[in-house]
Amino acid sequence: MAVTTTGQQIHNGALAKSSKNEPSKFAEPEVVRRINKRLSGLYEVAARVNPIFFAETAGMTEAAGVWPRPEAALSVIKIEDATPDEVVIVPHDDQLAEPSKLCVYEFGQSFYAITNDTGTPAGTLTAWYARRPDAIAALTDVIDSQWREDFNELLELELAIDYSLKDGRFDEVQSLKDDRNSWLISFVNFLQHSTSGLRRRFGHRQVIAIEQLVPLLAGGGA
């Protein structure tokens, strides 16, 4: 289902979290900036829990054996060539880690070709990555097209924490954080189990520590 939530709706929801919020204190450019920041924080969380959820692919054009990292990439999952075969990303200080595959290493936000027993990658490569959300430019804009609107409350609480902190209403902040953290647990659980029927050849186990994700969000970890 297409996302229809606007920045204005998120702003209104955040204002409603406290009777002390005064709409006149929040100019549109500031609100837009805060919404973009808070949504980016939630996508950062998702990139650590389930990087293929808010994700896309993009072609990377070669320039003399170098491919710039996609601007929207939060976490690069894998790279493929035109075949499409995987081009393995290896550490810059262990470039022979996978001699049986075409390889690149990353340095300075670009990927560099490695020549090994298999050959040298060349041409346009495709990056698969967890992505940043598209930013809104005005409150009338619809927020990112991959956002899950059933978690609008989480985004509204993130923004409400910002508003309370701005006004110095620290007595409200902890209560809002408690509500936010409850929604965060639901968000993380959803991301962990969004596709539970995945068939694997090998066992994979990931343990998520919620307390390590909270510093990415409004008000930090305190």
Q: Which residue positions in the chain have pLDDT lower than 50? A: none
Please tell me the predicted confidence (pLDDT) of residue 82: 96
Please tell me the predicted confidence (pLDDT) of residue 211: 79
Coil, helix or strand for 164? helix
Contact 86, 78 (CB under 8 A): yes
User: Could you report the per-residue pLDDT of 119-162, keeping only the tens digit for each?
Assistant: 999 999 999 999 999 999 999 999 999 999 999 999 999 999 99
Q: pTM, whole model, 2 decimals? A: 0.91
Please tell me the predicted confidence (pLDDT) of residue 220: 73
Q: Where are the alpha helices (DSSP H) in 168-209?
A: 170-192
Backbone angles phi, psi at 65, to 5 degrees: 80, 15
Please tell me the predicted confidence (pLDDT) of residue 210: 76
Please tell me the predicted confidence (pLDDT) of residue 214: 83
